[in-house]
Chain A
Amino acid sequence: MKAVYALYSNGDAAQRAVNSLRSAGYDDHDITVISGAPMEEYEFSHIGRHSYQWYIACAGGLAGLLFSTWLTTFAEKDWPIVVGNMPIVAWWPNLIVIFEMTMLGAIVTSVATLIITAGLGRKMPKLYDPEVTNGKILVGIAQPKDAAGADVERALLSAPGAQVKSV
């Protein structure tokens, strides 16, 4: 058995299922909740909220800043021609390029972080049901121990309207 899950029609039932799984001894880390839209009014939606995306984006911006500072300075010194009576390394115009590349660094890094940390572009895990895109909410446990499978089913069935499935 790879996973046990149940589908619910509304957030209240999904919340009860999550609470039952917690009571049965499962950590938030083990519980998977899948929905067709974010459901921030429910407590279960806060599972997996913590991330370092902001810090990583800032680091990306900093990398863009440093790289563009080096690029503009190096290129101007490498081909030192006086243009428009400006100094060889002209900070005013360089700031424009530096600003753009700082922002580009932050943007690209935040997207890369999303792809990596959200597991996008990888083979889709078994724990999924297309009914989610029809508005159902999936609550389940991936790879429960064989002996615990029955406990999981019992916990999932404790919420009303559950359709328990396993894959």
Chain B
Amino acid sequence: MSASDDRLATTLLRPLERGGLKWFLFVGFLAAVVGCGLFAWAFQMWQGFGLTGKRWPVFWGFLITNFVFWIGISHAGTLISAILRLVNAGWRRPVTRCAEVITAFALMIGGLFPIIHLGKPWLFFWLVPYPSSRLIWPNFRSPLVWDFFAISTYLTGSLLFLFLPMIPDFALVRDRATGVRKTIYGALALGWRGTTHQWHRLETAMSIMAIAIIPVAVSVHTIVSFDFSMAPVPMWHSSIFGPYFVAGAIFSGIAGLIIAMATLRRVLKLHDYLEDIHFENLGKLLLTMALLWGYFTFNERLTAWYGNHTAEYNTFQATQNGVYSPLFWTMVLVNFVIPVVILSIRRFRTITGCVIASIGVVIGMWLERFLIVVPSLAYKFMPYSWGTYAPRPTEIVITVATFAAMTLLYTLFAKFVPIISIWEMRAGEHAPIEEMAPAPEHRLGETHA
């Protein structure tokens, strides 16, 4: 066994073996918050939607905001990981699994919201295309059905994309574990040995999936945007919504990934693996997306303002100067001004700087989703149908619980699975010469670290 192999396995398997009082207290706290969310949901089902702040004409509030937000966060993982795998970026190795896990859990959480929003979640199966006793099929011309197909395809693909590269690591844990753990990890390893034959099959499958999952990821958020843009509602009915949503999703996804990586680095002491260069590269990506987000927002706003269509202009004014303006300008500050200032100055593009910018972006993107959903419904075409929306405790508790659920699922995952792919790190150490060779005079050479 080489010293580096031993160090790798020992360091990266350490989190699987430790579990102190602090860990249990933290998990217990998160579970309690999630429990509160489940209770609020159950209470809402029992009492009905009158319990929420949804009133005519605003029937989409926090729940749909959360749906769009979490689907957006899910773009952190699989999409980024797939792109980095395809371009064979050497620095991806410690990042990919951290990212893919975010996708899986964020999709699970995001996918719950349309079901919560149904009010009667037990009727969810009406979306499933099957010949019921009355021979009624779902309406394939409805964006809600498109959501079902898009999210279930992306979730299936993302879970498989996450699981496949975990198989060799499960085998590694299997070979080091004893007792029940050996049995469980043995089952998860599916009899993996690591023959050349198996490595080829695995890597080919990963390449196919990487190619397939990128358009699926793009389609998912485009289809989520169709939930809005297919409707003749002021500031929704726009062809820019597809790319605008995708850009926003990648933007918030990268921010989520940076926060997760910084937390893992600190808590699990992974300083040797999640290095400054990873944060700097992701920081540059976040900066690019901040600029792109600013570009799209300007396009969207200018078109509405210049077009001067009465209904659109009213919605526009409500967000720029009206009741929603504090949220709008906060969004601009944390989504554009702060990230651009911090991340464009190299001295500030540190881990702390990236995390500060990322926290701002996560908040800003949630606000953006809220500002897309609510003001347009509150200021529709006829002034007599104008209304307002204020969230009620049930929606707030459910929203907070989803953040706790994400943290809880991530914490549990990091406890039972190596959060950094050990075999990929080893493969990096054995990387072919052409992959490892840096371009000395070129700063992009950093990406091959």
Give A contacts to B, CB under 8 Å: 9-11, 32-41, 44-49, 51, 53-54, 57, 61, 71-72, 75-76, 78-79, 81, 83-84, 86, 90, 93-94, 96-97, 99-101, 103-104, 106-108, 110-111, 113-115, 117-125, 127-128, 130-136
B160 within 8 Å of A by Cβ? yes
Check if B149 sits within 8 Å of A97, measured CB to CB: yes
- 1/0 per residue, CB under 8 A from A, across B228-258: the answer is 0000000000000000000000000000000
B215 at interface by CB-CB < 8 Å? yes
Decide yes or no whether B276 CB sits under 8 A from chain A.
no
Distance, CA A48 to CA B432, complexed state (A): 19
Number of A-B residue pairs at CB separation under 8 A: 194
- Do residues A133 and B175 form an inter-chain contact, with CB atoms below 8 A? yes
- Bound-state CA distance A40–B196 (Å) is 9
Most chain B beta carbons < 10 A, residue from A47, A110, A123? A110
**In contact, B172 and A119 (Cβ under 8 angstroms):** no
CB atoms of B200 and A48 under 8 A apart: yes
Whether B141 pairs with A135 at a CB distance below 8 angstroms is no
Question: CB of B135 within 8 A of chain A?
Answer: yes
Contacts of B137 in A (CB 8 A): 75-76, 78-79
When A37-B423, A101-B149, A101-B153 are in contact, do A86 and B141 touch as well, CB less than 8 Å? yes
Interface string of B165-206 (1 = CB under 8 A from A): 001100110011000000000000011111111111111110
Instruction: Check A34–B193 contact: CB distance below 8 A.
Output: yes
**Contact A36/B153 with A72-B140, A118-B201, A120-B191 known, Cβ cut-off 8 Å:** no
Cross-chain contact B160 with A47 (CB below 8 angstroms):
no
A105 to B246, CA, bound (A): 23
Residue pair A107, B213 in contact (C-beta under 8 Å): yes
In the bound complex, what is the Cα–Cα distance between A53 and B200 (angstroms)? 10
| B141 contact from A32, A83, A103, Cβ within 8 A | A83
Complex alpha-carbon distance, A165 and B425, angstroms: 29
Tell me, in angstroms, the Cα distance from A71 to B145 when the chains sit together. Answer: 13
A115 and B190 within 8 A (CB): yes
Given A37-B427, A117-B201, A125-B193, also A96-B216 (CB < 8 A): no
Residues of B within 8 A of A71 (CB): 129
What is the distance, in angstroms, from B264's C-beta to the closest C-beta of chain A?
22
The residue in chain A whose Cβ has the minimal distance to the Cβ of B226 is A96
In the complex, what distance in Å separates the CA atom of A135 from the CA atom of B427? 11
Quote the shortest CB–CB distance from B444 to chain A (angstroms). Answer: 23
Q: Is the Cβ of A83 less than 8 Å from the Cβ of B193?
A: no
Q: For residue B198, which residue of chain A has the nearest CB?
A: A118
- Are A45 and B205 within 8 A (Cβ)? no
User: Which of B1-9, B69-77, B299-307 is the contact stretch?
Assistant: B1-9
The one of A47, A57, A108, A128 that contacts B197, using a Cβ cutoff of 8 Å: A47
Nearest CB of chain A from residue B49's CB, rounded to whole Å: 25
Query: What per-residue 1/0 map shows which CB atoms of B412-444 lie under 8 Å from chain A?
Result: 000000000001101101111100000000000
Chain A residues within 8 Å of B208, by CB? 53-54, 57, 106-107, 110
Q: How many whole Å from A4's CB to the nearest CB in chain B? A: 16
B209 at the interface (CB under 8 A from A): yes
**Contact among A81, A111, A127 for B205, CB-based, below 8 A:** A111
User: How far is A108 from B109 in the complex, measured between Cα atoms in Å?
Assistant: 23
| B141 adjacent to A123 (CB under 8 Å) | no
**Interface contact A103-B129, CB-CB below 8 Å:** no
* Interchain CB contact (< 8 A) of B136 among A79, A114, A115, A130: A79
Q: Is the CB of A114 within 8 A of B175?
A: no
Residues of B within 8 A of A (CB): 1-2, 5-6, 9, 129, 135-142, 145-146, 149-150, 153, 156-157, 160, 164, 167-168, 171-172, 175-176, 190-205, 208-209, 212-213, 215-216, 219, 223, 226, 423-424, 426-427, 429-433
B193 touches A114 (CB 8 A): no
B193, chain A: closest CB distance, angstroms? 5
**Closest partner residue, chain B, to A116 (CB atom):** B201
* Centre residue among A36, A75, A123, A130 by max chain B CB count within 10 A: A36
Q: In whole Å, how far is B163's beta carbon from the nearest beta carbon of chain A?
A: 9
Query: B199 contacts which chain A residues (CB < 8 A)?
Result: 35, 38, 45
19 sample A-B contacts, Cβ–Cβ < 8 Å, listed by A number: A35-B196, A36-B426, A37-B430, A39-B430, A46-B196, A48-B195, A48-B200, A51-B204, A72-B140, A107-B209, A108-B156, A110-B205, A123-B191, A130-B176, A132-B193, A133-B171, A133-B176, A135-B1, A136-B1
- Check if A114 sits within 8 Å of B135, measured CB to CB: no
Contact in complex: B150, A96 (CB < 8 Å): yes
- Complexed CA–CA distance, A150 and B272 (Å): 46
Asked if B196 and A47 make an inter-chain contact with CB atoms under 8 angstroms apart, the answer reads: yes
User: Residue of B at shortest CB range from A79?
Assistant: B137
Q: A135 to B194, Cβ gap below 8 A?
A: no
* Shortest beta-carbon contacts, A-B, top 10: A135-B5, A48-B197, A75-B137, A37-B426, A130-B175, A118-B201, A120-B190, A114-B205, A134-B1, A38-B199
CB of A94, distance to nearest CB on chain B (Å): 6
A33 to chain B, nearest CB (A): 5
Q: Apart from A37-B430, A79-B136, A135-B5, list 20 A-B contacts with CB within 8 A.
A: A36-B5, A36-B172, A41-B431, A45-B196, A46-B196, A53-B204, A86-B141, A94-B140, A96-B149, A96-B150, A97-B140, A97-B149, A100-B219, A101-B153, A104-B156, A107-B156, A107-B157, A122-B191, A134-B1, A135-B2
Cross-chain contact B160 with A107 (CB below 8 angstroms): yes
What's the Cα separation between A139 and B156 when bound, in Å? 36
Between B146, B150, B215, B430, the greatest number of chain A beta carbons within 10 A of the residue's beta carbon is seen for B430
B residues in contact with A61, CB < 8 Å: 212
